[in-house]
Amino acid sequence: MRGESVRIAAMSAPAQTPFKAYLALGLGLLILGFSAIFIRWAEAPGPIVGFYRMAFGALVLAIPFANQLRQGKTTLSRRGILVAMLAGFFFGADVAAWASGVVLSGATLPTLFANTNPIWVGLGAWLLFREKIKPAFWLGLLLALLGAATILGLNASNGVLLDKGALLGLLAGFFYGIYFLVAQRGRQHLDALSFFWIGTLSSAITLLIINLVMGHPFSGYSPTTWLVFVVQGVLIQAAGWFLIAYAQGYLPASLVSPTLLGQPLLTAVLAGPLLGETLGRNDLLGGAAVLAGIFLVHSSRLQRKTKTVIASPQ
């Protein structure tokens, strides 16, 4: 450690974790439930919506970040900056894939598949951090795969009828899982605001490059779409995701990521009246199986009796 954070080991979450961390997680979840709705309202490619979300978010967060830096309330380490930038890269890739899926296939299914990240987090912790995997994890993984096969239309007799938007959501879930693993480590070196602002700026740069490569226009959009860009940056990124980032400073990825399973459920509820989206029988059955499988994965990893808390100056 370089002195920028304090490690408090072997604390039980219910007794030691501040209530405001759980409150931040709940409020962040509520805000994120609207994210896919805004993407559908914007008349722009998904990566463009993601870029302006990150750009406006970084612009808003730059003010409190600069103020905190000027007052000497934070210490920036080279390792912390690099880890935050790496996390931002994966988050930018996640947003590009997920937003593209939402534009293609609607708000609900890509958001559901983007939230398969607890599976990727669990596999990553097993491979990289040698975390022990319980049988319930593998059962949950199998159930989630069966649900995904039902939604994607994998059929031995009829072949493969793939939903491109759902597949992009699945790819987003993979990047999302890597983001959580990196972010959990990165918060050991930076406070919440510093880590999140650097990560958001890195995500904006990543999405800028993606849009340049894909040839998407950065201008020429309607006033309504520009309003969506601003709301995404201020409400979703600066407010919603900062609340999640703050919670990550106290809660492990194995708790934060599965809690966010409420996002696709909330999005599905909102997509009906706001977007007129409905789900078929296979989508409902497959979605229920995916969520049940991810819940088993999450439960199998929450049985650890100790955790690490990174004390934040906030």
Q: Is the pLDDT of residue 185 over 90?
A: no
Domain contains 5: no
Which has the higher per-residue pLDDT, 57 or 247? 57
Query: Which pLDDT score, from 0 to 100, does residue 254 have?
Result: 63
CA distance 147 to 284: 9
Say if 14 falls within a structural domain: no
Q: pLDDT band at 6, cuts 50/70/90?
A: very low
pLDDT of residue 109: 82
Mean pLDDT over 197-206 rounds to 95
Q: What is the pLDDT of residues 230-243, one digit of tens each?
A: 999 999 988 987 78
Q: What is the pLDDT of residue 144?
A: 80
Tell me the average pLDDT across 267-273: 84
Q: Which of 22-26, 175-179, 193-197, 248-252 has the lowest mean pLDDT?
A: 248-252
Complete DSSP assignment for 238-281 = IIIIHHHHHHHTTS-HHHHHHHTTHHHHHHHHHHHHHH-----H
Cα distance between the two ends of the chain? 19
Q: How far apart are CA 271 and CA 167, in angstroms?
A: 19
Q: What is the pLDDT of residues 99-143, one digit of tens each?
A: 999 999 888 888 888 878 777 877 877 777 677 777 887 888 788
Q: Is residue 26 part of a domain?
A: no
User: Average pLDDT over the chain, rounded to whole?
Assistant: 80
Number of domains observed in the structure of the chain: 1
Show the domain range for 302. Answer: 48-306
pLDDT for 202 equals 97
Distance CA 21, CA 94 (A): 24
pLDDT digits (tens, 9 = 90+) for 296-314: 776 776 554 333 333 222 3
Are 131 and 279 within 8 A, CB to CB? no
> What is residue 236's DSSP assignment?
I
Tens of pLDDT, residue by residue over 9-61, are 333 334 455 788 888 888 998 898 899 999 999 999 999 999 999 999 999 99
Q: Both tokens of residue 74?
A: 């934070």
What's the rounded Cα separation, in Å, for the pair 76 and 65? 11
On whether residue 164 sits in a domain, the answer given is yes
> Which residue in the block uniquely carries the two structure tokens 């930038």?
85
Q: Decide if 76 is inside a domain.
A: yes
Which of 228 and 257 is assigned the larger pLDDT? 228
| pLDDT band per the 50, 70, 90 thresholds, residue 181 | confident
Listed in sequence order, the DSSP H helices in the chain are 13-16, 19-32, 35-41, 46-70, 78-105, 108-114, 117-128, 135-152, 164-186, 192-214, 223-231, 242-248, 253-259, 262-275, 281-301
Percentage of the residues of the chain whose pLDDT score is greater than 70: 83
- Which residues contact residue 22 at a Cβ distance below 8 angstroms, ignoring those fewer than 6 apart? 247, 251
| Residue scoring higher pLDDT (255 or 286) | 286
